[in-house]
Structure 1
Amino acid sequence: MSRITFKRVAPDEARIYDHDGDHVGHVYRHADIVNAGGFVYLVHLTEDPRGWTRVHDRSRIREVAQHMVDTHPLYG
């Protein structure tokens, strides 16, 4: 069971919230320059020294974001 939630704030952007309802990051959708007509999703957590993570499969965004929150130096 996931402990994070998402809220769309723009057509190509969503905010990530942890189980306490705190805003912890963003997901951005960008055109995939390698795969014409496709998209890539960038998951970025606030104050994360690891930087953003690129996700090509939309169905994996929740899994990747949850793993990033769980292993974040400040949130996990």
Structure 2
Amino acid sequence: MERYTADQIQVITFEEHLRARPAMYFRVGKDSPELPTDVLQQVVWDALHHGDGAQGVRHIQTLRHSDHIPP
């Protein structure tokens, strides 16, 4: 069994992890043409359904859009 050391651990941001492994959150791969649709569906679902069971648009919503797609 290989032992790990602290030097082997790489800390990345949530955004970097999401871009590297979108299937963990959206159930489609990063090369899938369905990815933009699934992301939009999740954003809309989250905006309309609160964790406490209440429904409706939240009072403060910020949606950011970026055309930059890393290689």
Using the size of structure 1 for normalisation, the TM-score is: 0.30
Q: Counting strand residues as a fraction of each chain, which structure ranks higher?
A: 1
Select the structure with the greater relative contact order (CA < 8 A; seq sep ≥ 6): 1
- Normalization by structure 2: what TM-score? 0.32
Determine which structure has the larger helix proportion and give its number: 2
